[in-house]
């Protein structure tokens, strides 16, 4: 026995080894009776096994291939050793090259099982990341709510201070009435100082009110945008898709000058929708059984990447950057400079080279993608010009 193989005796190879065959079968757990029968579990069967002989030959005409195959197989049978290999409860006989085919199915099953295991592991990893992101969003929302509550408390405290100061002024005016002649000048100075302090307190309160209003607006905008996105994902709202259809078709009409009749119809259907970029939803217009658009080149022109690749991006700040670029390109009152377009291309190319690694803004991270991101964000202040003249129609 060598590596699970048994060499076939020379007598068997020449056809003169029936007794030896019985002994070989007994070696693999079978018994021989009646000269030509192999007994397994009390049942008689004609002794049968698989015989695989494999060789190689040069390619030629059909007739020559057949002749060469016969000669090559006869030569292999005469010159090469034959081996017997157990295969589960059966066995197979052949030369070493032919026996390589016996376990081919088993090897393929092993490889498929390994691939399935790897896919399952990747799926579990993705689900954990999604859960972590949802937890982070919840924490940020709670922190914003707490900050608004603290600002409200500060406003109430300021109001109480103002009321106390006004009460103090009233009391001082009443006390100063009897000595108004003697202390007129000093009293007037004191009143002026107190009134100035009241004005400053009122100004501080107004500033605090403004900050609170801004914080509320940001919170309401964030909640509204997330609610809209959630409703879209749950209900697949057709009206919002019409709005996104209109956005892309309007860009084709006003900037690429190649809008079709279908594009004009989509613009008409979405006239009640707002302007702006939304890469996540726009990408959904190009996929699925209800895909509405067949012009992915326009999407790539707006957002820098294809609709198919957009499905990989989950990072909120990256999505906002792509939306900003699309909004400037499609705007009738904003124009991006050549440097604006160049820095956006640099970011997209660097992001693609990193295999869309979305950790580039994590604490302590400073990669090429990080630098490209901030260069583009900083250029928005100087490289995007607003115009009073509206472009397009």
Per-residue pLDDT reduced to its tens digit, 189-230: 887 888 888 888 888 788 677 546 534 533 443 444 455 444
pLDDT band at 386 (very low <50, low <70, confident <90, very high): confident
Question: What pLDDT is attached to residue 289?
Answer: 81
Per-residue pLDDT reduced to its tens digit, 239-269: 577 778 888 888 888 888 898 988 887 776 6
pLDDT band at 8 (very low <50, low <70, confident <90, very high): low
Q: What pairing do the DSSP bridges indicate for beta strands 50-52 and 90-94?
A: parallel
Question: How much of the chain exceeds pLDDT 90, in percent?
Answer: 27
Question: How much of the chain exceeds pLDDT 70, in percent?
Answer: 74
Greater pLDDT, 85 or 376: 376
Question: What pLDDT is attached to residue 17?
Answer: 40
Q: CA of 382: how far to CAs of 4, 329, 332, 339, 376, in Å?
A: 77, 16, 18, 10, 11
**Rounded to 5°, angle at Cα 292 from 300 and 287:** 65
Query: Containing H/E element for 371?
Result: helix 368-383
- Statement: residue 382 has pLDDT above 50: yes
Helix axis angle for 104-176 and 184-235, nearest 10°, is 160
Query: Containing H/E element for 86?
Result: strand 83-87
**Rounded to 5°, angle at Cα 290 from 251 and 120:** 110
Is the overall model pTM greater than 0.75, yes or no? no
H helix and E strand count, the chain? 14, 9
Query: Containing H/E element for 52?
Result: strand 50-52
Question: What pLDDT is attached to residue 227?
Answer: 52
pLDDT band at 368 (very low <50, low <70, confident <90, very high): very high
Greater pLDDT, 214 or 43: 43
Per-residue pLDDT reduced to its tens digit, 77-118: 888 888 888 876 777 888 878 777 776 766 777 888 899 999
Per-residue pLDDT reduced to its tens digit, 293-348: 889 999 999 999 999 999 999 999 999 999 999 989 988 878 999 999 999 999 99
Question: What pLDDT is attached to residue 35?
Answer: 38
Phi, psi (rounded to 5 degrees) for 290: -110, 35
Question: What pLDDT is attached to residue 344?
Answer: 97
Question: What pLDDT is attached to residue 237?
Answer: 54
**Rounded to 5°, angle at Cα 275 from 273 and 277:** 120
Question: What pLDDT is attached to residue 23?
Answer: 47
Segment 45-73 shows an average pLDDT of 85
User: Cα separation of 28 and 83, whole Å?
Assistant: 13
Average pLDDT score over the chain: 78
Per-residue pLDDT reduced to its tens digit, 127-166: 999 999 899 988 999 998 888 888 888 888 888 988 998 9
Question: What pLDDT is attached to residue 22?
Answer: 43
Neighbours of 63 (CB within 10 A): 8
SS3 80: coil
Question: What pLDDT is attached to residue 217?
Answer: 39
Burial of 83 (0-12, 13-18, 19+ CB in 10 A): buried
Domain boundaries, the chain: 6-102, 106-232, 237-386
């Amino acid at each position: 026995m060598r590596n699970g193989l048994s060499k076939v005796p020379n007598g068997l190879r020449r056809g003169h080894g029936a007794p030896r065959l019985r002994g070989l079968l007994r070696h693999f757990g079978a018994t021989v009776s009646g000269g030509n029968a192999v007994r397994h579990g009390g049942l008689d069967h004609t002794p049968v096994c698989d015989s695989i002989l494999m060789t190689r030959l040069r390619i030629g005409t059909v007739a020559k291939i057949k002749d060469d195959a016969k000669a090559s197989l006869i030569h292999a049978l005469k010159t090469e050793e034959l081996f017997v290999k157990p295969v589960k409860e059966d066995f197979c006989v052949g030369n070493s090259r032919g026996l390589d085919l016996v376990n081919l199915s088993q090897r393929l099953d092993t490889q498929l099982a390994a691939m399935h295991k790897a896919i399952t592991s990747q799926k579990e990893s993705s689900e954990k990341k999604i859960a972590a992101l949802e937890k982070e969003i919840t924490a940020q929302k709670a922190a914003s709510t707490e900050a608004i509550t603290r600002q409200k408390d500060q406003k109430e405290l300021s109001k109480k201070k103002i009321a106390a100061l006004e009460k103090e002024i009233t009391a001082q005016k009443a006390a100063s009435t009897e000595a108004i002649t003697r202390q007129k000048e000093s009293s007037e100075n004191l009143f002026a100082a107190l009134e100035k302090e009241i004005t400053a307190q009122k100004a501080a309160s107004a500033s605090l009110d403004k900050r609170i209003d801004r914080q509320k607006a940001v919170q309401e905008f964030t909640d509204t945008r997330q609610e809209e996105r959630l409703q879209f994902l749950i209900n697949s709202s057709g009206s919002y898709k019409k709005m996104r259809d209109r956005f892309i078709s309007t860009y084709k009409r006003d900037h690429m000058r190649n809008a079709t009749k279908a594009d004009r119809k989509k613009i008409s259907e979405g006239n009640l929708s707002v302007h702006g970029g939304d890469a996540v939803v726009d990408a959904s217009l190009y996929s699925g059984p209800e895909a509405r658009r067949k012009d992915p080149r326009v999407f790539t022109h707006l957002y820098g990447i294809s609709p198919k690749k957009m499905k990989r991006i989950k990072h909120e700040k990256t999505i906002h950057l792509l939306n900003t670029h699309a909004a400037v390109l499609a705007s009738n009152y904003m124009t991006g400079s050549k440097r604006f377009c160049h820095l956006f291309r640099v970011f997209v190319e660097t992001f693609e080279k990193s295999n869309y690694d979305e950790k580039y803004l994590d604490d302590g991270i400073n990669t090429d993608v990080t630098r490209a991101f901030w260069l583009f964000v900083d250029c928005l202040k100087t490289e995007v010009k607003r115009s009073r003249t509206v472009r397009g129609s």
